[in-house]
Structure 1
Amino acid sequence: MTVNEKITALRAHMVAQQIAAIVIPSGDAHLSEYVCDHFRLRAYLSGFTGSAGTLVVGLEWAGLWTDGRYHTQAAAQLEGTPITLYPAGKAGVETLYQVLEAKVTAGQTIAVDGTTISKAQGDLLKDSAKKIGGKLRLDWACPASLWPDRPALPQGLVHPIDNAGQSAKEKLAQLWCDEKTYLITALDDIAWVLNLRGQDLAHTPVFLSYLWVAPKGATLFIQTGKLTPQAQGHLAELAVTVAPYEAVEGHCASHQGSKVVVDPNQINARLYQLLGHNVEEGTHGIGARKAIKTPSELEHLRNAHKKDAVAMVTFLHYLEENVGKIPLTEVTAGAIVDQLRSEQEGYLSPSFTTICGYNANGAIIHYEAKATTCATLEPHGLLLVDSGGQYTDGTTDITRTIPLGEMSDAMRRDYTLVLKGHLALANAVFPEGTTGAALDVLARTPLWAEGLDYLHGTGHGVGYRLSVHEGPQSIGYQRKDGPALEVGMVTSNEPGYYLPQSHGIRLENLMVCQKADHAGFLQFEPLTLVPFDKRAIDWSLMTEVECEWLNDYHNLVFREIAPLLSKELEQWLQKVTSLDI
């Protein structure tokens, strides 16, 4: 069925069910950022494939809300459908709650699958329904007739890891010592606490589950047959009971009225409803502890980034040698990146779908190239490649924008402005207690001075063999309530600039927060060890200090990575990391 036919069929179902509007978010029952195919209902109905967005369908109208990373992509994918794009974050754009309140009238019903929204989001929908004298249903489920070939839940195996630097017994003990009962629903939190990893998501090694932690024990709700013998033994040693995944709702209902601590931003509205009136809204603190990597995790992460650098340096050299000489497209170039990573010891999978956008496609922030429509690489312009890997040693994420030949003056200027912002943030020294919101201005100032900006955050946390996007820390002026940066936190540094129909630029490294030389101050240590392309720099815009910063970084890259390369690649790396203005 086409998108139009799917929306028509959904509306027929809505009429039969006396529903005026249905809200369809992106998340799964665990409110994950990236979800398995079984939960991709919003993408199935709308045709918009980005990782973030909410579809709302009324009987005579429909809208989709998504953030600045996906405005261009969503506009293209929604073209020709009955769905209106609401580019969230832009001035004057109504929220979905405002639209619902304007279009749904008194006595009408708003419906949503309560397992796919948080309790906090559910409260906002309830408020909207109350304002208009309407009703909210949390029990809506997509009928099988609307999605007849819906993929089944994944059945990936679950196994323990042994290089976390802190045992699962210690992590559980931190929860048990509180003598409270917690329901933990975020998949990466569960994997972290138990030192287990799975295969249920394509690029994030987690597993569908819930973890109930009581003062005297714990229960893991997980699909039968997913635990390897090693994982079963691991859980037995921890005295963690195993129960069927689908039994969690009954378990919550049986504890209705009990005092259970839940995070209202993580628990889905359906489970919150089942737990009843005595729920304590709070936090288990796992996210904050998970964000601070142990010395063992950092040691392994540094190894992972060296392997990643070997793959990326090989790729950059390959492009320089072959663009314009052999047929290359965005798809084939992306496949080469993935292949080079797969040749590294301990490689498991990409950490997300590789983004490879040439010229105008690079301006689509989370662009996904398709074999039938992708661009052919030519010896001119810019290629943006955002990619990463999951290794037994950890998770990587890097973006480089690569000149393939002749560039316009605007491209060179924009690349240099983004680089200046990246270097300013990378070399920041700041007091303990500083948040990412306070540092964001460093990365944006060179662009702001020219009246330019970008519609995404400057930095996100990264997990250890977990999600490539991990909180609670971030770098972005939009997150004024974010936590302070602390020693051991791994965060990305990725300013960018995107000129529609022309080019996109993003330069991303991962870095870890460390103590600075001055007491009470912090700084960043680079984890990513891949050169920036000097051919794209307008040196007239660079200050002496910025040239020194770049030279220091390139010296570090050469010192750490050259011994791991062939003689040919070592000589090439020496050439591209030497400072010649």
Structure 2
Amino acid sequence: MDIKSIQKELKAQKLSGRIFTLGNLFIGEDILPEENRICELTGFTGSYALLFVTPAKAYLFVDGRYELQAKKEVNLRRIEIVKLSEISFCSWLKNNFAKSSARIAYNPWIISLSTLNGLKKLLPAAEFIPAANAGRLLSPKPVKVFTHQKKFTGQVSKDKLAQFAAHIKKCGLDAFLVTSAASTSWLLNLRSNALPYTPVFRAYVLVEKNGAYKVFAENTDYETALPFAKLAEILPRYAKLGADFCSTPAAIAGFAPQLADTADAVAAMKAVKNPTELKGMRNAHLRDGVALTKFLFWLSKNYKGKTETEVAEKLLAFRKKELNFYSESFAAIAGFGANAAVVHYHADEKSAAVLKKNAVLLLDSGGQYYDGTTDVTRTIALGEPSADMTEKNTLVLKAHIALASAVFPQQTSGSELDLIARQPLLKQGLDYEHGTGHGVGFFSDVHEGPARISVHAKNSAPLAAGMVTSIEPGYYKENAFGIRIENLYTVKPAKNPKYLHFEVLTLAPIDKKLINKYMLTTEELTWLNRYHRQVFLSLKKYLTRQELEWLREACAPL
């Protein structure tokens, strides 16, 4: 399949265009390369995009994280890049098709019911037509499923199912179809090797109000799983069936017309970690901090002549030595110099830059451990950074501290929290084109809902005690350098229980060579010194003598 053949098909069927999303029947979740139709058609490798193909032209919609990357990867003569920071996909569609009786094709397995309903409301005169060659886009590779043990989860699946079944009954439903792989995995305490970085079991689970359940999956060794085709036969049996329209493919409505839009309660349940999960997250972050600190010491002595891919591989080697390590939580982002300005840059062996002195390395990485998931970004000065690098890094640090030290009322929206972090940058006329924070799963998705910290999070679930989130403000100067400082935090009740605050999980030094202490307030300096003292005291007994001396200096108070 290529864009030219799609355009030929559109002309033959007298269609106005076709929508392509980045995904498969597990909407909004990670996919494999062979499932990525947008990459196949455009060459774009980012984790979020929309593609709209008309008989005459193709348009690729990307957000602020990928604007620079898309320019490098896409053939700009054939594909026009549309910046979502300037116009939303819906506004673009309305501008181009509101006054016409458009006929738009789509794959009903990879567009959610909520998205399709929204498009129909946006363009009432348009006809939305399921594409003839649509499918679930699920890789045929065999998958091994395994149990996530109770010593890690803190709760057996039987108890989780009973809790969820009680919720189904309370909602007046006969059953609920869980279509999120992350929710299914948490509910059943199952994981798999289907994806390289996210150990979820890619399955649907149909749970009845009495707690009985059926699992739907393909190409796995889970013996009782039913094929997805069986959904058409089984779902009509339920008079009152619930599903979350945000994660349920539009195709499901074709054989479950009685479907009721009901929020996925499992998503909210798993977002609030239980005591065992929180203890595991702390332990995983301690070991991850040891690995990252050992790497940072090694890097300080060995960076010259190394490539971006080589340093990423070295960090992975340190993580692999730690207890309960399973995999990286995503492909590490090691961006040197100008490459660091590409928010989600990924190097390969052919194009990887060679590290040199007097520049910065942005390193965004994480690990999947059986007892927790990590995600951390450090910006590292190699040699002597410029005054501009130091100033911008210090502003990003001020942004990070502003939110990390905040105390805020319960039910505060993610958009309000996002604005707290941006203030130090906005006051200088600066900003960054990505969210400030995302939820993090437990040996699961490194990006987890339903809460997030973003200017676009007005309607997202507010943060609640027990959730884990990132705080990761940044600054990116095109063709020059990039800065990001990211820690993970757990949300906890403040002294006044009507309020919440953050408790840090990530343990790794923040590069002092990139900090102008005279730009910090007394409170900010106190926060930084306390954090570094915590890092040093937590990690010191796990390091060699040389590593310890390096860490002592890295964490010495300013």
TM-score scaled by length of structure 1: 0.91
Residue of structure 2 in register with 1:22 after alignment: 18
Q: How does 1:524-535 map to 2 (within 5 A)?
A: 524-535=502-513
| Structure 1 equivalent of residue 185 of structure 2 | 191
With 544-553 and 516-525 compared, the bigger mean Cα shift is at 516-525
**1:373: Cα distance to partner?**
1.5
Which has the higher mean CA deviation after the structures are superposed, 76-85 or 373-382? 76-85
Structure 2 counterpart of 1:540, from 514, 518, 533: 518
Tell me the residue number matched to 1:36.
32
In structure 2, which of residues 238, 244, 250 is the aligned counterpart of residue 269 of structure 1?
Answer: 250
Given that 2:401 and 2:527 are in contact with CA atoms closer than 8 Å, whether structure 1 keeps it comes out as yes
Aligned residue pairs, count: 550
CA shift digits 1:4-41 (9 cap, x unpaired): x9211222233334433110000210103311234211
| Corresponding position: 1:333 with 2:297 | no
Alpha-carbon distance between aligned partners in 2 of 1:517 and 1:111, rounded to the nearest angstrom: 54
2:477 counterpart of 1:488: no
How much has 1:456 moved relative to structure 2? 0.8
Runs ≥4 residues deviating over 4 A: 103-108
Change (3 A) 1:559 1:268: same
Q: Which amino acid aligns with 2:130?
A: L
What is the one-letter code of the residue matched to 2:412? Answer: T
Q: Look up the match of 2:270.
A: 290
Partner Cα distance (1:334, 1:135) in 2: 48
Task: Pick one of 423, 431, 435 that aligns with 2:413.
Answer: 435
Select the residue among 222, 232, 244 that pairs with 1:249: 232
| Distance (whole Å) between structure 1 residues aligned to residue 215 and residue 446 of structure 2 | 24
The alignment partner of 1:377 has SS state of coil
Q: CA deviation at 1:224?
A: 5.6
Confirm whether residue 473 of structure 1 aligns to residue 451 of structure 2: yes
Aligned to 2:164: 175
Percent same amino acid at aligned positions? Answer: 35
Aligned counterparts of 1:94 and 1:435: Cα–Cα separation in 2: 21
- Whether the 8 Å CA contact 2:90–2:119 is kept in 1: the answer is no
DSSP-derived class of the 2:153 partner: coil
Determine if the alignment matches structure 1 residue 226 to structure 2 residue 200: no
User: More deviation in 207-216 or 560-569?
Assistant: 207-216
Counterpart position of 1:215: 209
Superposition RMSD on alpha carbons, in Å? 2.0
Which residue, out of 472, 495, 507, partners 1:517?
495
Between the aligned partners of 2:456 and 2:242, the Cα distance in structure 1 is 28
Question: One-letter code of the match for 1:369?
Answer: A
Cα distance change, pair 143–170 in 1 and its aligned pair in 2 (3 A): closer
Task: Please list every run of 5 or more consecutive structure 1 residues that lacks an aligned counterpart in the other structure.
Answer: 145-149, 233-240
List alignment gaps of at least 5 residues for structure 2. none
Describe the SS at the equivalent of 1:68.
Answer: coil
Structure 1 residues 140, 508: closer, same or farther in 2, change over 3 A? Answer: farther
Q: Which residue of 1 aligns with 2:140?
A: 153
1:279-338, Cα deviation, whole Å (9 max, x unpaired): 2111241111111001000111111111111111111111111123xx201111111111
Structure 1: distance between partners of 2:233 and 2:292: 49
Stretch moving more, 217-226 or 526-535 = 217-226
Task: After TM superposition, give the deviation of residue 106 of structure 1 in Å.
Answer: 4.6
In the aligned structure 2, how far is the partner of 1:102 from the partner of 1:445?
36
User: C-alpha deviations, 1:397-422, integer Å up to 9, x for none?
Assistant: 00000000122211110000000111
- Shift in Å, 1:259: 1.6
Equivalent position to 2:52, from 21, 35, 56: 56
2:111 to 117, 141, 146: 117
Alignment partner, residue 45 of structure 1:
41
Q: 1:55 to 1:503 in 2, by over 3 A?
A: same
Scaled by the length of structure 2, the TM-score of the pair is 0.94
What's the counterpart of residue 281 of structure 2?
Answer: 301
Instruction: Please state whether the residue corresponding to 2:465 is helix, strand or coil.
Output: coil
Q: Deviations over 1:79-137 (max 9, x none)?
A: 444111111022xx353563366259855521110110110111133235533xx4211
2:98 and 2:411 map into 1 onto residues whose CA distance is 45
User: Equivalent residue for 1:8?
Assistant: 4
Secondary structure in 2 matching 1:492:
strand
Distance (whole Å) between structure 1 residues aligned to residue 93 and residue 409 of structure 2: 43
The answer to whether structure 1 residue 395 and structure 2 residue 373 are counterparts is yes
Alpha-carbon distance in structure 2 between the residues aligned to 1:143 and 1:578: 57
CA distance in structure 2 between the partners assigned to 1:200 and 1:361 by the alignment = 30
Partner of 1:237: none
Match of 1:449 among 427, 440, 446: 427
- Determine the structure 2 residue equivalent to 1:147: none
Q: Would you say the 8 A contact 1:33–1:52 is kept in 2? A: no
